[in-house]
Structure 1
Amino acid sequence: MKKLHKLVAVIMTSMLTIGTTSPIYAATTKSSQPFDDISSSFARQNIIDLAKEGIIDGTGDRKFEPKKNVTRAEFITMTSRLLKLQPVDSDIVTFSDVPRSAWYYGWVQAGIHLGIVEGKGMNQFQPDTRITRQEAAVLIVRALKEERDSSANVELPYQDRMKVADWAVSSVQVALKLGLMRGDQGSFRPNDYVTREETAAILDRVFKDSYWSKVLNTTPASNIQLGWQNASTTAQYIATIKQSTINTLVPRWFFFDNNNDKPLANYVDSSLLTYAKQNNKKIWAMLGNRSNAEWTHTALTDLVRRDNIIKQLTAYVKSYGLAGINVDFENVSPQDRLPLTSFVTELTKSLHTVGGVVSIDVSPDLGTDWTDAFDYAALGKAADYVVLMGYDEHWDGDPIAGSVSSLPWVERATNKLLTSVSASKTILALPLYTRDWTIRTSGATSEELSLVKQGQRLRSVWSSKSWDSNLAQYVATYTQNGLQHRIWMEEGRSISSKYLMAAEHGIAGFAYWYIGAETADIWTSIRNVNRYSSY
């Protein structure tokens, strides 16, 4: 992350001070400023400029109340607006003291999903608690993704440096270095509360900095956002796509078939072709094998049959105007490792002649028979994209209960794939489902839940949940019919954590299994994390 350079000297002269005589401003009319009570504020121009941008607002009746202290909810709201984030109406409530009905609910959720802000104690956010200067320093430095000195050798140039909490020392140092906050008369006063005018001054210094001004006003580069259709009609699929970030559609249209005369089944829907063309969406139609190892072996090793399938797919890509084919084979025998690579190689060469691309879905390399068919390095060279299915860490039928997609597991899988496949060809697929595990002494069983059903399930029972920072997931528990149930939850915060991790590698994009299983707020979280990861 590029470091935020020191602000120019003219901004430094208006450093955050408390008790300093306010500058004298020229007389202004009420109509020239958004609030009637800011004329004598040292941050008058900061307030005017941020209000114009919609980053801050008043308290009603044309009042700003510049000397009023800022609450934790207010500070994260203004910071999130500065970062051009959107409020997230999460289906899953994070804090017991931040109800969905609260005006700041979506802003707190946006901040917590990206790790900008944290709670205060067990399941509490304390939204109405006034924020101190040292807390403000920590939050703004974290929001800007600035590196902090974790050593114990940080020396602050303040008389009251011993009053600065250990957890805030490095952030206070960075805030000073960047010109965002400064003390007064040799003191930082870490436990003093921040006022509304002081907050405006801090945020406006970021907003007007030459580097951050450019960053905040730059539209993030587009990446691949791929969404599989599953268990939905075309109309339902399109309706969900309209609300999403998806730019690459993957309908389940082509399958190997055990028919010598017609080895490729075709389920193309013209209405989706029309929608995609009219709305600038790409279609990478899925080629599946129905999880049939025998049919797959025949299709891959019978050279005449394989050639016919490739020719037919190429013709379909050309005639339907498809952007490509997404190869999704499951239960491929280890003996077909080389034939699979050859098939993908030949398919890619053929599709390139008509402007199409090939992506292939692969499971994480676990060193088992399930993944022996994937020659990751060879497939990475042959195909245009490799889609890593970052889910099924614990699967249907697994006797051990656990997460579908914990952050450490996905990170290991991503790192391993990137040793064989370039980041520019890698797409990480994230789950829009989870599993409700029933815990028995004889072992665990599970039921797959869409994210919609997950929320409905947990609201229908008395349950408790806690955030597992190691897994980057909430774990919910409840008891029904005398049996304990456990859900490793997937929602905006867990998905954002995995997205941020993978985005650091500069991968080509993300995919989601499956479209229609998510709650609407997921797309807001993804828009936020996509923007924030670009900073």
Structure 2
Amino acid sequence: MFKPKSALTAQSAVLLIVNGFGLNIDNIRFIKEPKASDYYTKVKDDAYYAKAFIIANLNGLEIPRDIDPNGKVTREQFAHWIFKAISKKGDYAWIEMYQTFKDEDKVTQGYMDSVQKLLIGKIASLDNGKFRPKDAITRSEAAVMLAKALSFVKNTQPVPPAQPEQPVSPLTEVKLTSEAYGSEALKVTVSAQAPHPGYGIEIANVAFKDKQAIVTYRIVKPDPAALYPQVITTVKASVYVSNAYTPVLGGEAQ
């Protein structure tokens, strides 16, 4: 029987979050099967909720190692676990502000950021200006917080991962030219501008496809122990191909 005003136990809280967010460990390969006792001192390996505790740990929910599965969960603990579950779903942009409330001095320091984020995101709320961090969270309070958290994840676009910066090539104005070489061949030349004469260029590969000769090049780097005049220098490399193919610049070889 669901008792909305009764305190939520740790086992129920972990099951609620793991199942609600669909957390799993499907993409982790183990040398041996993980057991709850590997991560917790009071969670029995054969308990029906043991797997949920394992999943919670490996998804970074930061459940205390000495958690009592039958013990009560405080509002600040549940808020912290909810925030960690949200973070597992994506990197979300949170408004940079500080939410003040009457009993903020009672929040455990390690939980404050999570509480702040949930208040800012309107996932958690205050009761007459108080968060009541040390109070046991009730089943109904937990259900509301979870529902709002899942709605947030569903309706909020995560920040896309930053793309790694592409290295800037020291060569500029790279171009390909060709000229007849005898009656059946072409001399194909790749040329570029280099910042000094220490750089060079060489043909890396010629791939023949659909009547095209796709030419890729490789940058020859300068000797780090040598000194070079800082003079823009033209560098070149050539290769010979059949005139049955049209030469095409394929870019720098990776």
Using a 3 Å threshold, how does the CA distance of structure 1 residues 381 and 131 change in structure 2: closer, same or farther? Answer: farther
> What is the rounded CA distance, in whole Å, between the counterparts of 1:148 and 1:131 in structure 2?
28
Q: Is 1:177 matched up with 2:120?
A: yes
Q: Is the 8 A contact 2:23 2:59 kept in 1?
A: no
Using a 3 Å threshold, how does the CA distance of structure 1 residues 125 and 91 change in structure 2: closer, same or farther? Answer: farther
Using a 3 Å threshold, how does the CA distance of structure 1 residues 165 and 182 change in structure 2: closer, same or farther? Answer: same
> What is the rounded CA distance, in whole Å, between the counterparts of 1:170 and 1:96 in structure 2?
27
1:119-518 alignment runs, 5 A limit: 119-120=64-65, 124-145=66-87, 156-209=99-152, 212-213=154-155, 381=253
> What is the rounded CA distance, in whole Å, between the counterparts of 1:129 and 1:192 in structure 2?
13
Instruction: Identify unmatched segments of 5+ residues in structure 1.
Output: 1-62, 216-341, 354-379, 383-535
Q: Is 1:112 matched up with 2:75?
A: no
> Structure 1: which 4+ aligned runs deviate by more than 4 Å?
87-90, 146-149
Cα root mean square deviation, aligned: 3.4
Q: Give 1:172 deviation, angstroms.
A: 1.3
Q: Is the 8 A contact 1:141 1:171 kept in 2?
A: yes
Q: Is the 8 A contact 1:87 1:107 kept in 2?
A: no
2:46 alignment partner AA:
S
Using a 3 Å threshold, how does the CA distance of structure 1 residues 158 and 84 change in structure 2: closer, same or farther? Answer: same
> What is the rounded CA distance, in whole Å, between the counterparts of 2:150 and 2:92 in structure 1?
19
Q: Give 1:99 deviation, angstroms.
A: 2.3
Pick the aligned partner of 2:33 from 86, 91, 116. Answer: 91
Q: Is the 8 A contact 2:73 2:136 kept in 1?
A: yes
Cross-structure match for 2:45: 100
Q: Give 1:196 deviation, angstroms.
A: 0.9
Q: Is 1:68 matched up with 2:6?
A: yes
2:58 alignment partner AA:
H
> What is the rounded CA distance, in whole Å, between the counterparts of 2:14 and 2:53 in structure 1?
7
Q: Give 1:101 deviation, angstroms.
A: 0.7
Q: Is the 8 A contact 1:72 1:131 kept in 2?
A: yes
1:423-475 Cα deviation digits (max 9, x unpaired): xxxxxxxxxxxxxxxxxxxxxxxxxxxxxxxxxxxxxxxxxxxxxxxxxxxxx
Q: Give 1:148 deviation, angstroms.
A: 10
Using a 3 Å threshold, how does the CA distance of structure 1 residues 178 and 214 change in structure 2: closer, same or farther? Answer: closer
* TM-score, reference length from structure 2: 0.52
Cross-structure match for 2:16: 78
Q: Give 1:86 deviation, angstroms.
A: 3.8
Q: Is the 8 A contact 1:72 1:127 kept in 2?
A: yes
Using a 3 Å threshold, how does the CA distance of structure 1 residues 147 and 161 change in structure 2: closer, same or farther? Answer: farther
Q: Give 1:129 deviation, angstroms.
A: 2.0
Q: Is the 8 A contact 2:103 2:132 kept in 1?
A: yes
2:4 alignment partner AA:
P
1:47-62 alignment runs, 5 A limit: none
1:80 alignment partner AA:
V
> What is the rounded CA distance, in whole Å, between the counterparts of 1:173 and 1:148 in structure 2?
13
> What is the rounded CA distance, in whole Å, between the counterparts of 1:214 and 1:157 in structure 2?
24
**What's the % identity of the aligned pairs?**
21
Structure with greater contact order relative to length (CA < 8 Å, sep ≥ 6): 2
Q: Which has the higher helix share?
A: 1
> What is the rounded CA distance, in whole Å, between the counterparts of 2:93 and 2:61 in structure 1?
14
Q: Is the 8 A contact 1:148 1:170 kept in 2?
A: no
> What is the rounded CA distance, in whole Å, between the counterparts of 1:200 and 1:65 in structure 2?
12
* TM-score, reference length from structure 1: 0.26
Larger Rg: 2
Q: Which has the higher strand share?
A: 2
Using a 3 Å threshold, how does the CA distance of structure 1 residues 103 and 213 change in structure 2: closer, same or farther? Answer: farther
1:81 alignment partner AA:
N
Q: Give 1:71 deviation, angstroms.
A: 1.8
1:140 alignment partner AA:
I
